[in-house]
Structure 1
Amino acid sequence: MRLSILLQAAGVAGLLSQAAHASGLPAFEQLDINRDGITTEAEIRDWIGALHAGLDTDGDGRLSVREITAGGHDAATAEAIVSNNDLDRSGHLSVDELSMLLPVLFGMADKNRDAILERAEYDAALSTLPRR
């Protein structure tokens, strides 16, 4: 079960990481919404919601393979992201499905387990993810 969670996390992490890298802004500044020098799980959840809304070009509240592909992923990667994280098997990703693994991802990055991510922790976690 743990391996399955980590594989799902890798797919969502890839989507989030590539979106952050593609934006042209440092990822940490995007996540640190209140500009206090740290980021919390709540700030990341807000960013995921904004990412989802930005990719959801037809406004139906779900991300399709087509929308993920239009966001910069190749078709095979988009298919894998949807199939690995589509918990209700609808063929689309809801914001809830996209956020589902946030605690796992956050826990993997929060090396000192203080429930916040400092820039160094986030940068270290982000550097381990593939860039497109």
Structure 2
Amino acid sequence: MTFLALAGLLGAATAQVQAQDDDMRQDGKGNHGMRFERADADQSGDLTFEEYAATIDARLANADTDGDGRMTVGEIADEIVRIRAERQARRLVRRFDVNGDGALTADEIENRQRKMFALLDRNDDGMVDRSEMPRRGKGHHRRHRPQ
């Protein structure tokens, strides 16, 4: 393996490890993240090196798009972008998919937009002015998220 390929692999693995480390940390209640549960293939409550490595390997499996046995920076970057885009798309579908069929319709999107707009329109005048917009900046870290 050439130095460039090794460096790319190590960089991708480091990024994946950091992301998984964040996902696998315990929250304040002692609960493990969902990815920990998926990585724990035998559901033993702990991860072996093999289980941990398999999780990272699965994420990088599609990165070698030209099948030459090497993952270039471009291939790894493309895979990371694809993974992030799919994650964001799943979140979007979960938030807007009213009927739970796993797909979005124009009606579901418009319905969600109307709900979000109604929450912003605090004085119910059918318009949102600057004073009704959620504040950003120091002391206002909570996002305005309608249910």
TM-score bracket relative to the smaller structure: 0.3 to 0.5
More strand by share: 1
TM-score in terms of structure 2 length? 0.38
TM-score in terms of structure 1 length? 0.42
More helix by share: 1
